Amino acid sequence: GRGAPGDTQYFLYWQNSRHDNVMECELYIKDENGRNVGCRFQNVKIDIEKAYFLVNGSSKGSLIQFYDEYIQLYKIEKLIPPSNIAVHCEEIKYDCIIQWQRPQINHSNKDKCFKYEINIKHKAGGNSHIFQRSNTRKKYYLKMRAAGSSCFVNPTWGQWSAPIEFGKNKTTPLAVLPPEISCYTH
């Protein structure tokens, strides 16, 4: 905690289920003084059961109180953005079809487990969604993110994808599209 001596070092141990071995963090995140302040988990299998976490601390001059808790891992998982985002626009019609692949997680392979947020901006200075362009001569930027909809997937919005460009780079005297459009899809 905040009142711990400066020489305190923390160690994180966890157990995915009661039947698994207890493991220590493989890759600690350290502060400027070399103290362990976090952990990056690699190759973690997320089960429905709660995982057990234990944080121990050591100091030369003081006893450090341990902390332990059972946590459902999917509740703290941070979703990566959807991948392979593509926008296909028809020149004659005003429709654009946006397609993507859901975030890859090891505990669910169902599309119904996710919901998506799509953010579209025009340049002013199942897995698809139809966007109707109001102006075929503008360039647009699209970014997406995902959140869990069910199936033990974290309901918190994940990271935004990198912006995807589509449309043409011609200017028009009248701005028909609002500067930003957000839409949600399941």
Does residue 174 surpass a pLDDT of 70? no
- Please state the pTM of the whole predicted model: 0.62
Closest by Cα among 122, 104, 121 to 113: 104
CA distances from 62 to 9, 55, 66 (A): 11, 16, 12
CA distances from 57 to 1, 141, 156 (A): 10, 48, 31
The highest-confidence range among 29-33, 137-141, 158-162, by mean pLDDT, is 158-162
Calculate mean pLDDT across residues 29-42: 85
Indicate the average pLDDT of the chain: 78
The CATH 2.60.40.10 domain(s) of the chain lie at 9-75, 83-166
The answer to whether 26 and 36 have CB atoms below 8 angstroms apart is: no
Does residue 180 surpass a pLDDT of 50? no
pLDDT tens profile 99-125: 999 888 777 777 888 999 998 887 554
Fold that domain 9-75 belongs to in CATH? Immunoglobulin-like (2.60.40)
pLDDT tens profile 132-155: 666 666 788 899 999 988 788 888
Q: Domain 83-166: state its class.
A: mainly beta
What is the number of residues in the chain? 186
Q: What's residue 145's pLDDT? A: 93
Higher pLDDT, 26 or 136: 26
Q: What's residue 162's pLDDT? A: 92
The highest-confidence range among 79-83, 104-108, 176-180, by mean pLDDT, is 79-83
Calculate mean pLDDT across residues 8-36: 87
Calculate mean pLDDT across residues 90-97: 76
Does residue 25 surpass a pLDDT of 60? yes
Residue 113: strand, helix, or coil = helix
